[in-house]
Structure 1
Amino acid sequence: MPLVKRCAAEFFGTLWLVLGGCGSAVFAAKFLVDETQLGLGFLGVSLAFGLTVLTMAYAIGHISGCHLNPAVSFGLWSGGRFPSSELLPYITAQVVGAIVGAGIIYLIASGQPDFMIDNSSGNPLATNGFGAHSPGGYSLFAALITEVVMTFFFLMIILGATDFRAPAGLAPIAIGMALTLIHLISIPVTNTSVNPARSTGPALFVGGPLLAQLWLFWVAPIVGALLAGWVYSTFFEAESPQDTAAE
């Protein structure tokens, strides 16, 4: 498959991840009708993020590998499964897709008469943050540890589920459920990133202190992903199907 087509798949896949995951947080997490709470809450938003990855894994996994995330691309590179020459094109496509997805959310959200972005506190447009921008008020250090550890295990699951020794065809389910679980754990801490592209799109539209905090949501996920790639390739990777059969 030509690189340009694989990058196009990454663009549309990441757009879908941001639109489905961040969109559910912006439009449906809290929704009151006659003082009755009909919103999705943390559980619903967590499932939405997981479902975006699960659905796109089946839709474009055979085209691009369905990374949708610079940290995933770095982790697969660290694990010896992705060429360094394709890192920049993939990451560029992912970031642009995330920006377009966030832009669509912004356009829809601005259709409300009382719509206003307040970047002084909270997480407008489902941005990620720490301190005053952490849903639970967690510190920079807590956010750093959370994002490194959550991304580490996300990549371990991806690498394991896509190993040739794993059951065929089930990787999207494992990866989608893993992202759901990660959100259930970490939404209160950082609003859950584990994905620099997903963090970049909303932050660019919100700006201010949330854009200033964006560095953490590039550094921490990439560090966690690189560690996972090294750990899996060093301790768990089989060299080839023939080596496994000979054991």
Structure 2
Amino acid sequence: MVRKLAAEFIGTAWLVLGGCGSAVLAAAFPQLGIGFAGVALAFGLTVVTMAYAIGHVSGCHLNPAVSVGLWAGGRFKASELPPYIIAQVLGALAGAAILYVIANGQAGFDVHAGFASNGYGDHSPGKFTMGSGFVCEVVMTFGFLFVILGATHGSAPKGFAPLAIGLCLTLIHLVSIPVTNTSVNPARSTGPALFAGGWAIEQLWLFWVAPLIGALVAGGVYRWVGGDEPRAIEVSGDPQPAR
């Protein structure tokens, strides 16, 4: 378990540093800024790279909503939820701390300006309402968990899950950055918000509640749609998946 939690800590720190770092350091860089598309790709790449690095260790959740959704889908033990979520939040804080140290080296940097925090209303990039943000986060997290559960199902093609999951997260960001700056991950939201303070902390509740609702619904729905995992049976002494 210690190795699993260490993997989740490092992986979530990487997600925040890579994804939020692209938004803080590179999105609007003079003349050569990567923009929304670049930030979306950066988040997807953090998941792809870490999925191959630690997927065999901890499952590479990097996200309390993913852990809760996998539990709802019958893929994860309830007893492991609290330590996983704690490790993920601490990892997000570590990633945000590293990003803060880097960003603070630029003249004029103001952490309270946003620091890639998620928000709605006046703090939404597109000035979307709280209601729009809530619906967006629920639906996008549902889609994310639905893809994760499908791509990691025992009957799915082997070896491609990290690519499908990373591309799904990229797509989610392409759609929803203008709405909420994209969370679908309570840990990712918490790390930057604790540094930005003020409004970011006041609005943080939405980026816990909405993703967890979306994850719970996705877990239940996919359990019905996708069916049970293949059952191992003995064939000549070797376990084989049932078809």
TM-score range, shorter chain: over 0.9
Q: Return the alpha-carbon distance in structure 2 between the equivalents of residues 180 and 240 of structure 1.
A: 29
Give yes or no for the alignment of 1:45 onto 2:35. no
TM-score (norm 2): 0.95
Judged with a 3 Å threshold, the aligned counterparts in structure 2 of structure 1 residues 155 and 115 are, in CA distance, closer, same or farther, namely same
How far does residue 245 in structure 1 lie from its aligned partner after superposition? 4.2
SS in 1 for 2:105: coil
Amino acid at match of 2:195: F
Amino acid at match of 1:224: G
SS in 2 for 1:149: helix
Q: Return the alpha-carbon distance in structure 2 between the equivalents of residues 10 and 118 of structure 1.
A: 27
The equivalent residue for 1:125 is 115
Amino acid at match of 2:226: F
Judged with a 3 Å threshold, the aligned counterparts in structure 2 of structure 1 residues 179 and 96 are, in CA distance, closer, same or farther, namely same
Q: Return the alpha-carbon distance in structure 2 between the equivalents of residues 203 and 118 of structure 1.
A: 9
The equivalent residue for 1:4 is 2
How far does residue 116 in structure 1 lie from its aligned partner after superposition? 1.8
Choose from 215, 218, 227 the match for 1:225.
215
Any stretches of 5+ residues in structure 1 without a counterpart? none
Give yes or no for the alignment of 1:75 onto 2:73. no
Q: Return the alpha-carbon distance in structure 2 between the equivalents of residues 109 and 185 of structure 1.
A: 26
The equivalent residue for 1:99 is 93
Choose from 204, 208, 219 the match for 2:194.
204
How far does residue 125 in structure 1 lie from its aligned partner after superposition? 1.2
Contact conserved, 1:164 with 1:241, CA < 8 A, in 2?
Answer: no
How far does residue 112 in structure 1 lie from its aligned partner after superposition? 1.2
The equivalent residue for 1:13 is 11
Contact conserved, 2:155 with 2:229, CA < 8 A, in 1?
Answer: no
Q: Identity across aligned pairs (percent)?
A: 66
Q: Once superposed, which parts of structure 1, at least 4 consecutive aligned residues long, lie more than 3 Å away?
A: 241-246
TM-score (norm 1): 0.93
Choose from 225, 228, 235 the match for 1:238.
228
The equivalent residue for 2:27 is 29
Cα deviation per residue 1:121-141 (whole Å; 9 max; x = unaligned)?
xxx210000001000000000
SS in 2 for 1:166: coil
Q: Return the alpha-carbon distance in structure 2 between the equivalents of residues 70 and 239 of structure 1.
A: 23
The equivalent residue for 2:127 is 137
Worse overlay, 152-161 or 227-236: 227-236
Any stretches of 5+ residues in structure 2 without a counterpart? 234-240
Contact conserved, 2:64 with 2:85, CA < 8 A, in 1?
Answer: yes
Choose from 152, 169, 174 the match for 1:184.
174
Q: Return the alpha-carbon distance in structure 2 between the equivalents of residues 186 and 115 of structure 1.
A: 25
Contact conserved, 2:19 with 2:43, CA < 8 A, in 1?
Answer: yes
Choose from 139, 145, 157 the match for 1:149.
139
Q: Return the alpha-carbon distance in structure 1 between the equivalents of residues 47 and 229 of structure 2.
A: 28
CA RMSD of aligned residues (A): 1.2
Cα deviation per residue 1:98-143 (whole Å; 9 max; x = unaligned)?
0010011111111112122344xxxx21000000100000000000
Give yes or no for the alignment of 1:89 onto 2:83. yes
Amino acid at match of 1:31: F
How far does residue 237 in structure 1 lie from its aligned partner after superposition? 1.9
Judged with a 3 Å threshold, the aligned counterparts in structure 2 of structure 1 residues 84 and 115 are, in CA distance, closer, same or farther, namely same
Give yes or no for the alignment of 1:167 onto 2:157. yes
SS in 2 for 1:105: helix
Q: Return the alpha-carbon distance in structure 2 between the equivalents of residues 180 and 117 of structure 1.
A: 25
